[in-house]
């Protein structure tokens, strides 16, 4: 099946279903993204992705004999012919890079509670059985992972119930590195959001707003948890006023941090988690490589797990730039 044919089908399908008027006009903002949301704004966003090549990128990654991520490696001395062809196709559709925002995960990866987030047992080896198989016991909220609404609510959506449309989002990157370097307890504020909008325009509908503190560079050291002698951790996060602003005044799907928690490390009440997740929103923690992305223009694709009733879990996060 050719990519061009698939793209035509996607555009045709979306256009045929687009029966609502565009609600994203001045003084008439669309409703917050929820399960079953059929607003024309969301549909327009998906149409833009179809025209811009998201479906093409996914199809090429699926049908290529080479990993799609290889297209992001400019230093390869002898690119595979498939890589060169796929890169040209992506460029024609406006996608220049595919960036992995996921940390590799093992038993040494830092966790919020300080204990290992995974234990493994090898059940079969290639030398003995002709194949390799491991059995893993994994803590839901370790490594690069998603927090589902159920994580901090009585009856919110579990991770398998998050609508897939909400897991593809324009990415807003808030750069607070300079403050984080001087103050480990700094937080994303409403002022940070307003400054971003003053420079880049209004936060897009359905976006993921990501805190870029540079903390991912500390994953291999104690600095990532940054616990003091009393065991209190010190790392950046969102301020509850900032997420309340997003909830009341902007229509976004998720927030993301490159630290261990949506709340800053010193938090004792998880105010951000309690304000954000019960409203049907999701959060990403321990995101990597935000340094590779622009402040605006990237599209986030969240590969959330789909285990029934889960409160979150290990997640492969990528960005299309």
Mean pLDDT value across residues 177-193: 98
Quote the pLDDT of residue 95.
86
Chain position carrying tokens 């209190």? 232
Please provide the CATH number assigned to the domain covering 145-320.
Answer: 3.50.30.50
Show me where the domains of the chain are located: 3-96, 145-320
Task: Work out the pLDDT band at 90, boundaries 50, 70, 90.
Answer: low
> What average pLDDT is seen over the chain?
83
CA dist 146 and 315 (Å) reads 6
Helix (H, G, I), strand (E, B) or coil at 56: helix
Number of separate helices (H) and strands (E) present in the chain: 9, 13
Helix H or strand E encompassing 10 = helix 3-17
Quote the pLDDT of residue 92.
63
pTM of the entire structure? Answer: 0.76
Quote the pLDDT of residue 44.
56
Task: Work out the pLDDT band at 93, boundaries 50, 70, 90.
Answer: low
Determine the length of the chain. 321
Quote the pLDDT of residue 48.
54
**pLDDT tens digit string along 226-256?**
999 999 999 999 999 999 999 999 999 999 9
Chain Cα centroid distance, residue 32: 18
Q: Per-residue pLDDT for 74 more than 60?
A: no
Tell me the two tokens of residue 153.
């609510």
DSSP-derived secondary structure letter, 32: P
Quote the pLDDT of residue 83.
64
Contact call for residues 241 and 191 (beta carbons, < 8 A)? no
Task: Work out the pLDDT band at 94, boundaries 50, 70, 90.
Answer: confident
| Cβ-proximal residues to 72 (8 Å cutoff; 6+ apart), any chain | 97, 98, 99, 100
Q: Per-residue pLDDT for 15 more than 90?
A: no
């Amino acid at each position: 099946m050719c990519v061009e044919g698939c793209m035509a089908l996607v555009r045709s399908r979306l256009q045929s279903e687009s029966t609502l008027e565009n609600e994203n006009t001045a003084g008439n903002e669309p409703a917050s993204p929820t399960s079953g949301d059929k607003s024309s704004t969301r549909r327009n966003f998906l149409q833009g992705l179809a025209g811009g090549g998201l479906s093409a990128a996914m199809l090429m990654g699926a049908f290529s004999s080479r990993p799609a991520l290889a297209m992001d490696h400019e230093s390869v001395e002898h690119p595979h012919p498939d890589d060169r062809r796929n890169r040209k196709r992506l460029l024609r559709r406006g996608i220049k890079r595919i960036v992995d925002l996921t940390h590799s995960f093992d038993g040494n990866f830092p966790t919020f509670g300080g204990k290992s987030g995974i234990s493994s047992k090898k059940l079969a080896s290639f030398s003995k059985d002709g194949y390799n198989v491991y059995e893993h016991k994994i803590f839901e909220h370790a490594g690069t992972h998603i927090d589902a609404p159920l994580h901090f609510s009585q009856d919110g959506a579990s991770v398998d119930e998050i609508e897939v449309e909400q897991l593809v989002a324009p990415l807003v990157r808030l750069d607070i590195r300079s403050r984080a370097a001087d103050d480990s307890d700094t937080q994303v504020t409403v002022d940070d959001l307003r400054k971003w909008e003053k420079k880049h325009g209004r936060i897009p509908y359905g976006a993921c707003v990501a805190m870029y503190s540079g903390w991912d560079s500390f994953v291999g050291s104690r600095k990532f948890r940054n616990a003091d002698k009393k065991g209190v951790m010190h790392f950046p996060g969102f301020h509850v006023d900032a997420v309340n602003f997003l909830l009341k005044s902007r229509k976004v799907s998720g927030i993301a941090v490159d630290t261990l928690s949506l709340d800053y490390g010193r938090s004792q009440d998880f105010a951000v988690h309690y304000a954000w997740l019960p409203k049907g929103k999701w959060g990403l923690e321990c995101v990597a490589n935000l340094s590779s992305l622009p402040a605006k223009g990237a599209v986030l694709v969240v590969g959330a797990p789909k285990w029934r009733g889960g409160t979150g879990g290990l997640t492969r996060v990528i960005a299309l730039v």
